[in-house]
Amino acid sequence: SMQPGGRSLLHLYRKLLRSSATYPSKNRWKIYDAVRLEFRENKDGAVDDAKTQKQISVAYKGLEQLRMYDQQTLGGGNADNPNWSVTLEKNPMPKPPT
């Protein structure tokens, strides 16, 4: 039996895991595991509780940030799309002033 709001939380959870898994970083699996742990630790919390609402809000912000680097968004679902590499490398490390 899923409590009210549970279905949308499950949806959020799945989106976070999917975005974590495609995040272009060597830390992607740490992020993935952190998401799983956070949800597991809070799975019995009341959805309308103020603390839970705050955590949900933070999770949505995190999802937005992950999606800024999402292969689906940047490359149109195609890893070979030039936008993918151009977007990640368009600002190479500037040389320090001499």
Q: What is the pLDDT of residue 13?
A: 94
**Would you give per-residue pLDDT tens digits along the chain (98 residues)?**
455 577 888 999 999 999 999 888 899 999 999 999 999 988 887 878 888 889 889 999 999 988 887 655 665 655 555 444 444 444 445 556 66
Q: What is the pLDDT of residue 80?
A: 55
Global pTM reads: 0.63
60: Cβ contacts below 8 Å, ≥ 6 apart: 12
63: how many CB neighbours lie within 10 A of its CB? 18
For 8-51, the DSSP string reads HHHHHHHHHHHHHHH-SSTTHHHHHHHHHHHHHHTTTS-TTSHH
